Each structure stands twice: as structure tokens, then as C-alpha cells.
Structure 1
Amino acid sequence: MKQLTFAPRHHQLTNTRTWTPDGQWLVFDVRPSGAFFTGETIERVNVHSGDTEVLYRATNGAHVGVVTVHPFEDRYVFIHGPENPDASWHYDFHHRRGVVTHHSETRNLDAMDITPPFTPGALRGGTHVHVYSPNGEFVSFTYNDHVLHERDPALDLRNVGVAAPFGPVTPPGHHPREYAGSHWCVLVSQTTPAPKPGSDEINRAYEEGWVGNEQLAFIGDTLSLSGEKIPELFIVDLPKEESGWKRAGKSSLCGSESTMPAPPADVVQRRLTFTHDRAFPGLVNTPRHWVRCNPQGDTIAFLMRDEAGVVQLWLITPDGSDLRQLTHASGIQSAFNWHPSGKWLGFVLEDRIVLCDAQNGDIRFLTTNHENPPSGDAIVFSPTGEHVAWMQETGGYRQLWMTSTEV
């Protein structure tokens, strides 16, 4: 094991795409914890020398965090809070945006227009956890809506969206908090405030992961016949051509004063798991995890309890077939990621970093004797798969650590 950071402050890794493409740097933000969005810089540390660099520094009272990296380029995308915050407009789920910094130039990813009539390709709220598609052309995110939040917070449902490279989008700018963005942004999930019990309807879409470049999987909260919330796995098929991203379906791409923006006509949402009748139904929210597809694009992994109530890793194909329990362990304690080869997955088990064989579920422990348990927020492989990094409290601060995978 190798400790990478030593400064007396917290270092926060995002749950995926935190290594630069050359495998030399890990990117991070400096929030005091995952819950408090008060960091002012996006930084990176060289995993060999320990040198750190500031990639971006916020100004005018804004805060930044949750950075991820483009798969092939020296390009970083992260959350940016509002500049000059005040009592009526400060950082919140529906008051944040994605920005991209590249060679010291920083631009807004998503445009915002909160003044009707709304602008197609722009959003009306805040985006979060921005992740590039495997080919680097698209960016996924989760979303909350300012317009509906102002009307009734109960209508502001978490959704999943995509930034497509068909911008820029420039709203008229009738409100001082509106801005332009480089990408055409739409929601791709379909939610409703009151799902019908026992149906495929959901009132929340979250923790998404790319399935190749033309699908996104995510967790959607359904209701059982008795009204219990049960998170299930969903997938959406995305448009293949630019025209498909810009063609509205039955509802408006940019929504109305009383409705959420709707997905393009070509987006199809399907449910993959049906667990209402299990002893322990639904995907788990604790530990928090993001569904992840292997690099080959044919197997989606997620966390769900077994028949004894123990959290295990499960696999399913993108068409919903071949659901199987991979691990039979003592309880997975973290989010996870696939090794770049697709042969293993990495996570925390028994307070240690492990590799799990993706075929038979065999576990190999990579670390021992942690001073404190590794954080469950992020277990991230280097681009070649030679190393894996995580966070761990060391000397009272969340520090970054790394070890060899030996594969």
C-alpha cells in the first residue's frame, strides 16, 4: 500500500474516472466530506512523485467538486456551484452546473433557462456527477429542476440526463442566473411523482452507469403493491443520430412550468430487474453504489441482498436476461468498479480492498492492516488496471491511497 497525499485536509475521489488517461495522476476535490460542498479547488496528485497541482480554482464565492476525467484527453468535468451566492440563490441540488476545463480554458457544459418559454437543449436546474461515455463524446449526469422546485419541492424528482456534443445552446438570458452551455442537454429518464404500485413507473432515477456508448443503466425507485419503495434496475436506449437527440416525443424536451423536461422521442426506458417478491427486494442504497457495466458492454453489475439479507454483487445482461449472484461473501461494504480488462471487480470487503473474479466470484485480498477502514465511496482502477486507489482516514484526514493489483 502507498499513501499518496499527506496535506492536513480532506481529499475526495469521485466514484469513477478519477485517473488521467496516462495513469500518472489522480484527480480529486477538497470537500471536508462528501456531504459538505465547500471546496474551492479541483486538483490532481502524481501517483509516483506525490506532487500536486491545482487544475481549477473557484472565485466569487462559488464552490466546486466531484471531478471526473475524459477517457483519452486531458479534460476534466466537475460540479460548479453558483457565483455570488445569496439567500435566494445558493448551492443546492437544483442550483449547480457542470463545467469542463481543458488546457486552462473552462466552459459550462449545460445551459440553464428558467424563464418560459424554455429553450430546447438547455436545462432548468442543477446537474451532478458528470461522467464521460466510453468514447468520450457524451456526458451523463443526474439532475434536479429549479422550476418545479419553486412550484413544489415534491415535484422536483431526481432524474438522469445526458449532455450530447450538438451545441452550443444559448438561452435568451432573461434572468441573471441563466447561462449558455457547450452541449445539447436532455433528460433520458422518465419519472412520475406518484408511481402506480406494482408497476414499472418510478419517482426517482439515479446512480447511472454507461452501457457501451448508446445505453445508460440506472436505479429507479418503484412502489410495491403495498406502497413500499423498492429500487430496481432500469436501462434506456439512447438516440444514434443527432436528429434523434433533438426530436421531442409526446412531451416537450424542455418541459413546462408544471412538468419536468421529457426525453427525446427515440429514448426507450426499460426495467431489467423484478424483485418485489424476493425476501429482500430491490437494489441496495447502503452502501451507496453506482451500477456499472463491464468494458465489453455485455454485463451490468449492481448490489442487492441475498436470501439471507447479506449485500452481494449481482450481474445481469443489458437485455435483462441471465440474472445471477456473483459473490457469496460476508457483505460488500462499498461502491465498486470493473477492472479495465473486464475480468475482475474491485470493492471493499472485511475492511480491505479486494479483487473479485467476474466469472466465479472468487475473492483475492489486495490489502491488510488498514489503520482505518477504506472509504466505501470510491474504489478506482488505473487505466491499465495495474493499480487501484481509494480514500482512507489517516491522521484525522481523508487521504488517498494506492496499491498494485498484481494482475
Structure 2
Amino acid sequence: MNLLSRCLLVSFLPFCFTSCMNEVQVVALTQSAGGHTIHHNSIFSPDDEWIVFDGRNDDTKIGETSTIGMVHVKTGEERMLYKTNNQTVYGPGVGAASFSPKENTVLFIHGLYDADAVKPYDMTRRFGLAIHTDKPMQGIHMDARDVVSPYRPGSLRGGTHSHCWSNDGQLISFTYNDEFVDPDLRVVGVMIPADKEIVVPVSNGNNNGTYYSAIVSDVVREPKWGSDEISKAFDECWLGGSGQFTIAFQGNTRNEKGETITEIYTVGIDPEMIRKDAAAVGREGERPRVPNGVRQHRLSRTVKGLSDLRHWLRASPDGSFVYALAKDDKGQNQLVQCEVSTGELTYISRFDFSISSPINISYQGDKITFVANNNVYVFWLKSKKLEKLTSNSVTDLKIVGVPVFSRKDDKIAFNQFVAEKESEYIQIKLINLVD
């Protein structure tokens, strides 16, 4: 019997809350002076031996961060994977790294190489760079960026962000902001394998790409009240298993009173259909558009919508349910479950506290982890049992970001500030869930 099972022998309504700090082992994994910020998903290598991180010591400082590294979960050995050239406070900057679920390949945000005081790192000036872990420093441009009209099909001309591998590692979703047209209108896009490298003209701000990129969400600046139109698409996840390419994402829409609320939308991804519409790249003065035949659908229809606390949607392994955060009548963030087949959204928690972080679901789909009151928790979806895994007070050094399950679901990694002499650094801590 694993430790979590032994901790959950006592229950009471409405939720079982247990604490088994004498059994759950929390390990301080990283020790070196400097930041060790983990991404919100897929930070463990396919074999669960390594965790990837970036060198941020402040979540908002990607533009000032120069390094991507990884740490061995058993030995604590740290290895440098990538370091920017000529890094300044203006860029280029790197961060938000994640492992492919199938290969020892790491993908992360990279700011433009020509970043300077006039045009610094920005949400519209970045792309995805990949590294094979056995070939450090040899960056691979994933999405092509082309700012020279006429634009090459499969390229973009803004910034991709928060990249997320599909469950089988074939496709990559991302959020995107265009540099030249409506840069504040965030959309969701996808990278699909290209038949050949996307080659663009040599120019400042341009780079070739090994994937074919497209935008897959329609947004408008002023959604009609009571319609399904959205002004922002963001913070998505993949649904289903191998060969099932559907993205669930959050969309800001207007209710019949004109109030902005966030609902759940889905879009099916057909790589062949995307490749066929070369004109979707758009022309000068236009944003890239959604390829013909790709259409988003509204999934949830609620009164209040989802929480305004930034978080990413999470899906059950079979794609039947989407999980998110929404506020209860007291304004506290609770867990909600949306049934994909019906769009019905149900509150599945009634905690007497408010969740303060994004959420993650285990690979088996049986539990969700999050942070509240400066502690890491696990919530069991079937039994509705809750477990507190750490023993911090609200005055202890802060836990930041979101806890992440290992691929075998036997560990949870999280970030917390740790004091060293006169400084505080974001370090990676590891919770071992089994003997």
C-alpha cells in the first residue's frame, strides 16, 4: 500500500482532510545559488530521471533569464542545457521549459536574438526553441517567424508562449500574440510536423522553423453580448490520447449583461486541413487567421464563468472531463469538472479555503495537486479526499508556481524560496509519494 493510501484511512464530510507529514518525504532537490523555476507542465523527462528548469528567480523575468538546466531526481546533479549569448536585462531571455513525453527533447520560450533597449523581450517577440538533452547548446527553432511580406505559409510574426506537447508528443499547442496587428489579442495556436523546413528570408526578427504553425482560435475585439464570440483564447490543454488531436482552451466572452466571463472552448486539430490552407498565414496588415475547416466550439455555459486566477485547463487521460478553477459564493477558488460530451460544469470541491495556484492532474487521472495557504495538497477525485503534503505556515518562505506530478505519479515537484545567507532562491523540492 502506498503512503497516500495509508494516509486516507480516516474520512469525514464534506471532505476527508488528512495530514501525514511523518510519512510523506519532502526532499530539497536543488541547492545551487540561483533560480530554478519549473514550468506548469511536463517538466519530468520521459523516464522520470530528470526535471527541467529555467534560471528565473522571479516568475516575471523571462526576458532577463539566460539559462535552461535540468536536475537529476535521485542525485541532485545539475546540468546546463542552454545559455543565451549576450544576455542583458532587455533580452533575449529564456524560460518555461518542458520535456517531450516521448523523447529527451526540451522545448522552451526564447526571446528574439536582436532584443535591445528599443525592442526588448516581449510577449510579441519570442519563439519556441528545442534542445536534445544529449546535444546541449544546439538549439532547434521549432516555429518559423517571418516579418517580411509576403509571409511564408506555416510561419508566424509574433510571439509563441507556454508551449504544451500533445499526449503523444506529435503536436505542440501554444498561446500567441502578433507583433504588428492587435498585439493585445491573445490566441491559441498549434505546431504540426512540417513536410520540410519552413525557410524564411534572412532578416532581423526572422528564423526558420522545423514545424508548421497555425492559429486555431477565432477572436474579436468586442464580442457580441450573449454570443459565443471571444476576445481572448488562452491557457489550454490537450484532450484524448494518441491520434486524438483536440485542444480545450479558455475563452473570454460576454454574457447577456455585457459582462466578461471565461468559458471553456474546444477545437479539433486536423493537420492535413491546416496544411492545405496556405493563405491562412495572412497578408501584411492582417493577423494570421484560422485555416478553413478548423472551427472552435463553446463547451461550457455558466453564470459566473471560470476563476480569474491564472491557471491552465487539465483533462482526464481519456479526454472525458476538463478540470479548472471557479469561484464559489464566498469568492474562493474551487475545483470544477466539465463533462466534454455535455458541457455540464460541476463543482467538485467545497474547501473552506481558496486554492491559490494553477492545478495539475496525475497521469492516471485519479488526483489533482495545487497550492493553498502556502502548502501543497492532493485531492482524490473519486473519494473526494484531501491530503496536505507539506507543513508550512503562511509566514514561511513562499511556495510559488504549480506542483507537477512525475510521469509515474510517484512524485510531485514544486518550487519554494529557500534562504541562503542574505539571499533567497527559488529551489525545486520533491515529494516522494510511495515507499
Match of 1:257 among 268, 284, 303: 284
Residue 160 (structure 2) pairs with residue 134 (structure 1): no
Structure 2 distance, partners of 1:197, 1:116, is 36
Per-residue deviation, 1:174: 5.8
1:44 to 67, 70, 79: 70
Q: Quote the Cα distance in structure 1 between the aligned partners of 2:250 and 2:231.
A: 11
Cα distance, 1:257 vs. partner? 2.7
Contact 2:300–2:344 (CA<8 Å) still a contact in 1?
no
Structure 2: 5+ residue stretches without partners: 1-25
Q: Is the 8 A contact 2:196 2:210 kept in 1?
A: yes
**2:414 paired with 1:390:** yes
Q: Offset at 1:90?
A: 2.6
User: Structure 1 counterpart of 2:50, which letter?
Assistant: W
Q: Is 1:354 aligned with 2:377?
A: yes
User: C-alpha offsets along residues 201-238 of structure 1, whole Å, 9 cap, x if unaligned?
Assistant: 11111111111241111111112333322111111111
Q: Is the 8 A contact 1:168 1:180 kept in 2?
A: no
Determine if contact 1:188/1:263 at 8 Å carries over to the other structure: yes
| Pair 1:323 & 2:345 matched | yes
Which residue does the alignment assign to 1:227?
258
Mapped pair 1:305 → 2:327: yes
Output the CA distance in 1 between the equivalents of 2:432 and 2:200.
52
CA distance, structure 1, for counterparts of residue 326 and residue 415 of structure 2: 24
Is the aligned partner of 1:196 residue 2:218?
no
Identity score, percent: 32
Helix, strand or coil at the partner of 2:281: coil
Give, in angstroms, the shift of residue 261 of structure 1.
Answer: 1.1
Is residue 92 of structure 1 aligned with residue 114 of structure 2?
no
* 1:300–1:316 Cα contact (<8 Å) kept: yes
Kept after mapping to 1: 8 A contact 2:397/2:418: yes
Q: 1:183 to 1:296 in 2, by over 3 A?
A: same
Equivalent pair of 1:253/1:262 in contact (CA under 8 Å): yes
Counterpart for residue 153 of structure 2: 120
Give the Cα–Cα distance (whole angstroms) in 1 for the partners of residues 174 and 398 of structure 2: 29
Output one character per residue of 1:63-117: Cα deviation in whole Å (capped at 9) or x when no partner: 2111000002110000111113234433111110101111323210011112222
Q: Which runs of 4+ in 1 moved over 4 A?
A: none
Whole-angstrom CA distance in 2 between matches of 1:351 and 1:68: 24
- Structure number with the bigger relative contact order (C-alpha 8 A, sep ≥ 6) is 2
CA distance in 1: counterparts of 2:413 and 2:367, whole angstroms: 15
Distance in 1 between residues matched to 2:197 and 2:180, nearest whole Å: 19
**Deviation per residue, 1:23-51 (Å, 9 max, x gap):** 11111001231111211110011121111
Q: Is the 8 A contact 1:292 1:338 kept in 2?
A: yes
**Deviations for 1:142-190, whole angstroms, at most 9, x for unmatched residues?**
10101215xxx5xx41111110012444344163321210000001111
Alpha-carbon separation, structure 2, partners of 1:271 and 1:360 = 30
Q: CA offset at residue 336 of structure 1? A: 1.1
Q: Tell me if structure 1 keeps the 8 A contact 2:53–2:70.
A: yes
Say what the alpha-carbon RMSD is for the aligned residues. 1.8
Q: 1:319 to 1:247 in 2, by over 3 A?
A: farther
So what's the TM-score if we normalise by structure 2? 0.86
- 2:277: which partner in 1? 248
Conservation of the 8 A alpha-carbon contact between 1:344 and 1:358: yes
Letter aligned with residue 189 of structure 1: S
Q: How high is the TM-score relative to the length of structure 1? A: 0.92
Q: Distance in 2 between matches of 1:320 and 1:393?
A: 42
Output the CA distance in 1 between the equivalents of 2:432 and 2:125: 39
Query: In the alignment, which residue of structure 2 is the partner of 1:111?
Result: 144
Letter in 1 for 2:246: Q
Q: Secondary structure at the match of 1:80?
A: strand
Aligned residue for 1:243, secondary structure, equals helix
Partner of 2:318: 296
